[in-house]
Amino acid sequence: MEQKILDKSYEPEDVERKWYEYWEKNNLFRAEAVSEKRPFCIVIPPPNVTGTLHMGHALNNTLQDILCRYRRMKGDNVLWQPGTDHAGIATQNVVEKDLSARGSDRHAVGRDKFIEIVWEWRRKYGGLIINQLKRLGCSCDWSRERFTMDEGLSDAVKDVFTRLYEEGLIYRGDYIINWCPRCQTALADLEVEHEEADSYLYYIRYPLEGRDGYLLVATTRPETMLGDTAVAVNPDDKRYRDYSGGNVVLPILNKTIPIIFDRYVDVEFGTGALKITPAHDLNDFEIGNTHELERIKVINEKGFMNELAGPYEGMDRFECREKILADLDRAGLLEKVEPYRNAIGHCYRCKTMIEPLLSKQWFVKIRPLAEKASQAVREGKTRIYPSNWEGIYFEWMNNIRDWCISRQIWWGHRIPAWYCGDCGEVIVSKNEPENCSSCSSPNLVQDSDVLDTWFSSALWPFSTLGWPENTDELKTFYPTSALVTGFDILFFWVARMIMMGIHFMGDVPFRDVYIHALVRDAEGKKMSKSKGNVIDPLEVMGQFGTDAFRFTLAALAAQGRDIKLSEERIQGYRHFVNKLWNAARFVLMNLSSEIDVNNKCGELSLPDRWILTRVGRVSGEVVKAFDDYRFNDAASICYQFVWHEFCDWYLEMAKEALYGTDQEKKASAEVTSLRVLLAVVRMLHPFMPFVTEEIWQKLPSTQGSIMNGGFPEASDFPADGDSLKEMDLLMGVITGIRNIRGEMNIKPSVKVNAVVDLADAEQVEILERNLEHIKSLARVNDISISSGVPKPEASATALFEHNQVHVILKGLLDFEEERKRLKKEIKKVENELGVSDKKLSNRGFLEKAPDEVVQEVRDKVETLRSRLSKLNQNLSFFETIDA
RNA sequence: AGGCGGGUAGCUCAGUGGGAGAGCGUCGGCCUUACAAGCCGAGGGUCGCAGGUUCAAAUCCUGUUCCGCCUACCA
């Protein structure tokens, strides 16, 4: 027989391991591909396969797990679809770093071998983050784990690429792209981080051809002048009107380039003359196109000056800048240098300064996809919570530009395009072609680039469910129910999933998107390794227990606000876990061996009726909060109820019956406390899966896992409105006496005598029936309840509603203290009365405010008046008595 | 430059038209047989500032200031 009494304190470590193994062994996370039950599906935002769990993951997955566990308990067929992402650039970087530490590099090992090494790496470390998610308690259906480089998902990628190509939505072209000279690859616009920094604006003289003088040009990047093919001015700019048809001589290279006119140029900025470098700047590129300018690339893919850079060939781009400035200065062509702040793009992976470069890349023509994705959200097919993110989503969708999807790295989905070595034909095909479709030549070479990782992530909600096969999973779970993610990947990932989902599945990929906050440190700073302010979730779990950690995250996850996390907060919620544990321990200790929650018991006591009514209401509130993604509300409702209603009031009062000899009363207290505890652990289970399972398994009347125990609902409990009012009265008396005791510093060991004077004689009986509770909770020896009795001599009085309770102080304390206390309270009541009186003397209020509001204020005034007169009476009593 | 969010108790925040709240911290009192990771009690706020709408504003509007974030092709 298993020991049913709980240990004195909760020890998370063993308990967590035990139950996670139990859940997995019993397949409790398994979803059914076909089921009568209502489907609920979340696809996990796939973590990088090389990653380790950080706070962002912890929050993100805790919230998902809360939703999944909640829905499962409500009887849904839940699929939490897990998996990892191959994270092309990040993973390649990690493996390359490892290679270089061993004195090698990817070019030395070759492409095929390198990819093999990365797979090996994944086999070795890919399970790390998965195990960390398990440690967090995540109830993913691990039997369905996917990886973006799996065969099935790779097929999906090829399928999507070829179909988009055939539809003209994927094309290949020469454009200015963001190039990272360190990672040696193109990046999408989104992958470039702009940060404002101190820089300089250099004013350079471009001598005019065939006449005296020069055109003064302002630039932040003097090294690109080697690739200049024009200088542009605004046609409306009077200063340059007579330069039409003229040329300038490009300094250093002494090349003649034209002065062109274009409205793009801002007359106000700098000198109003803009040097044009079509091969190294997006705007210049576009201006170059309209004016049919030559594109001269002077910086190569490694960030070094090439052979077209004349004397600077072979220099690094920054070195070249310094040299060129020195040379210009010497030639008297550098007029001035001004400090200037501008935002320069950096690689989001390695922080290297991005080089805008002319390059041939693959792009997705995004507008047609974006428009439908925009519309779907506008029509409410997908709802974004909190809704202010919708505006940001639309904003981005409206200004979106074509998506550069080719990457010059090796780890990823290779672009399914082949080039004919003989006729130059481009063949895009799911399967490797044997001959050129145009000239039948077998001389075909596959494109060496791979696709942006986000290209495969964009398919995640349907590729993981088996697409392009028409699987049962797709039929059952697509569109998925909710997506939970941080705003930092709203564009990278969420928007692109919506586009691809609509295009290939004909429907949005998810009904709801819940955008959660960022986890910051206690000062509100972003956590980062370089700042050294990271809190490691695994350490936290070890120190405080996973349940306390999860509850903290949920309790702090208010919509639209970042989370400031500190160890003190987590510690605070660990106390809550302990409180729950001890409540359970107490209930268990007092249960009779043959007890069952369905046992018949005699008449319920007032506290019994009250707590059952309350737990019903609270269940309803929690359900509503979960349904609205108000995790913090759900958490604090539970916290408040468990600690301050169940423990502080109910269990304290139940002791009366539990310790007593009346078997009927004892039985009803036992059944009620068990019933409420069973509800409490179930409503807390989504937050705190481990401790609740541990308690559940020790409680009588349970079978199997708490996961199958159902979620408590309002209708499970009797609603007894009278019990709420009666308890208010009872608690009012007890609180009144406690207030006096506290303020007068009467020690708990000293019992007092009290007289209760009720305004409503009919309520006397209510208190009479509950005298024992007042005596034990307020530490009272003798008490009398009646209506309309005079205040006893030498007593202190507490008021509640229209009632008063007098505590006899004779021989207990200093009356001066009581006079002070009364005066203080009189002042407080007078202030409140002043506010309300003012309202009632305002004609506008009486005429225009709703009747019930006016009535409320009238009632309040009445209450305050009677309080005030009682307080004054009490005070005058004390004024006449000598201590 | 544009956009978004925020400023409420010492700290972290909830509260979106009608009585300023919670948790933590602080202070005072308690080893009351579930829990000192606990129990009982107390103190503490001109709701950033200035106008406006309203009978009534923390709440709605306008302006302003400070902080944070996002987006951006003025060199």
Q: Is the CB of A343 under 7 A from strand B?
A: yes
Distance A812 CA to B30 C1' (A): 17
Question: Quick one: DSSP state of residue A458?
Answer: T
User: Hey, do A185-356 and A564-719 end up sharing a CATH topology, with the first three levels equal?
Assistant: no
Question: A802 CB contacts (<8 Å, ≥6 apart)?
Answer: A759, A760, A863, A866
- Nearest-nucleotide field for A488 (CA, C1'): B70
The percent of residues above 90 in pLDDT, for chain A, comes to 44
Scan residues 726-755 of chain A and list those with Cβ within 7 Å of strand B.
Answer: 735, 738-739, 741-743, 745, 747-749
For the CA of A755 and the C1' of B46, the distance in angstroms is 41
The total of other beta-carbon atoms located within 10 Å of residue A359's CB is 19
Chain centroid to Cα A848, Å, comes to 44
Q: A742 burial class (0-12, 13-18, 19+ CB within 10 angstroms)?
A: exposed
In this predicted structure, the answer to whether residue A882 has a pLDDT above a threshold of 60 is no
**A449 CA to B50 C1' distance (Å):** 60
- Those residues whose C-beta lies under 8 Å from the C-beta of residue A28, and which sit 6 or more positions away, are A139, A705, A707, A708
Q: Does domain A564-719 have CATH number 1.10.730.10?
A: yes
Q: Which residues contact A205 (CB under 8 A, 6 or more apart)?
A: A214, A215, A216, A217, A251, A332, A333, A334, A335
Is A602's pLDDT higher than 80?
Answer: no
Question: What are the residue ranges spanned by the domains of chain A?
Answer: 185-356, 415-448, 564-719, 732-880
From the CA of A519 to the C1' of B24: give the distance in Å. 19
Distance from CA(A372) to C1'(B13), angstroms, rounded: 39
pLDDT of residue A791: 82
Question: Quick one: pLDDT at residue A348?
Answer: 82
- Residue whose token pair is 């005066």: A823
Range with lowest mean pLDDT among A366-380, A583-597, A670-684: A583-597
Element spanning A484, H or E? strand A480-486
pLDDT at A883: 43
The position carrying tokens 């479709």 is: A437
Q: What is the ipTM of this complex?
A: 0.92
**Using a CB cutoff of 8 Å and minimum separation of 24, what contacts does A713-718 make?**
A713/A619, A713/A620, A713/A623, A714/A616, A714/A617, A714/A619, A714/A620, A714/A623, A715/A616, A716/A616, A716/A619, A716/A679, A717/A612, A717/A613, A717/A615, A717/A616, A717/A619, A717/A679, A718/A609, A718/A612, A718/A613, A718/A616
- Among chain A residues 71 through 130, which have CB within 7 angstroms of nucleic chain B? none
Nearest nucleotide to A589 by CA–C1' distance?
A: B34
State residue A877's pLDDT score. 66
Q: What mean pLDDT, rounded, does chain A reach?
A: 88
A220 touches strand B (CB under 7 A): yes
User: Which residues of chain A (751-810) touch nucleic strand B at CB < 7 A?
Assistant: none
On the question of pLDDT at A424 being above 90, the answer is no
Residues 505-534/A with CB < 7 A to strand B: 522, 524, 526
Q: Is the CB of A660 under 7 A from strand B?
A: no
pLDDT beyond 60 at A65: yes
Distance, CA of A580 to C1' of B31, in Å = 21
Protein residue at shortest CA distance from C1' of B38: A579
Q: How far is the CA of A120 from the C1' of B16 (A)?
A: 55
**Cβ of A7 less than 7 A from strand B:** no
The dihedral through the CA atoms of A554, A559, A647, A663 has a sign that is negative
CB A233 within 8 A of CB A265: yes
Amino acid whose CA is nearest the C1' of B32? A748
pLDDT of residue A1: 32
- Residues 843-882 in A having a C-beta less than 7 A from any atom of strand B are 844-845, 848-850, 853, 856-857, 860, 863
Per-residue model confidence (pLDDT) at position A711: 95
User: How many C-beta neighbours within 10 Å does residue A7 have?
Assistant: 9
Summarize the confidence of residues A640-655 as an average pLDDT: 94
pLDDT band at A633 (very low <50, low <70, confident <90, very high): confident
Is A349 in contact with A93 (CB distance < 8 Å)? yes
Report the Cα–Cα distance between both ends of chain A, in Å, rounded.
63
Q: What is the pLDDT of residue A163?
A: 96
Contact A774/A734 with Cβ under 8 angstroms? yes
pTM: 0.88
CATH of A185-356, one of 3.90.740.10, 1.10.10.10, 3.30.470.20, 1.10.260.40: 3.90.740.10
Distance A723 CA to B59 C1' (A): 34
Beta strands in A83-237 (DSSP E): 83-84, 146-147, 170-180, 185-187, 192-207, 214-219, 230-233
Q: A402 CA to B7 C1', in Å?
A: 39
A717 secondary structure, DSSP code: S
Residues contacting A247, CB < 8 A, separation 6+: A208, A209, A210, A256, A257, A258, A259
The whole-number Å distance from A853's CA to B60's C1' is: 20
- C1' of B7 to CA of A515 (Å): 23
pLDDT in tens, A85-141: 998 888 888 888 888 888 888 888 899 999 999 999 898 888 889 999 999 999 999
- The β-bridge partners of A482 are A42, A512
A494-549 pLDDT, tens per residue? 999 999 999 999 999 999 999 888 777 666 666 666 666 677 888 889 889 999 99
Q: What is the structure's pLDDT at A471? A: 95
Assess whether pLDDT exceeds 90 at residue A10.
Answer: no
Instruction: For strand B, give the nucleotides within 7 A of a protein CB.
Output: 3-6, 12-15, 18-20, 22-25, 28-32, 34-35, 37-43, 54-56, 68-75
Which residues in chain A, range 226-285, keep a C-beta under 7 Å from any nucleic strand B atom?
A: 264-275, 281-283
A589 Cβ within 7 A of any nucleic strand B atom: yes
pLDDT of residue A18: 93
* Strand B close to A403 by CB, under 7 A: no
Q: What is the pLDDT of residues A252-298, one digit of tens each?
A: 888 898 998 888 888 888 888 899 999 999 889 988 888 888 898 99
CA–C1' nearest nucleotide, residue A632 = B14
When mean pLDDT is compared across A433-447, A732-746, A773-787, A810-824, the lowest value belongs to A810-824
pLDDT at A2 (0 to 100)? 44
Helix (H) or strand (E) holding A664: helix A663-684
* Spacing of A621 CA from B60 C1' in Å: 28
Q: Is the CB of A643 under 7 A from strand B?
A: yes
Q: Which of residues 133-192 of A touch strand B (CB under 7 A)?
A: 189-190
The average pLDDT across A608-623 equals 93
Q: Is the CB of A354 under 7 A from strand B?
A: no
Q: Find the mean pLDDT for residues A319-346.
A: 88
Given this model, what pLDDT does residue A628 score? 86
Nucleotide minimizing C1' to CA distance for residue A391: B4
- Stated in angstroms, how far is A679 CA from B35 C1'? 20
* Buried-exposed string A252-265: b where 16+ CB fall within 10 A, e elsewhere: bbeeebbbbbbeeb
A643 CA, B71 C1': Å apart: 45
Of A25-29, A381-385, A573-577, A587-591, where does the model show the most confidence?
A25-29
- Does A572 or A45 have the greater pLDDT score? A45
Whether A9 CB is under 7 Å from strand B: yes
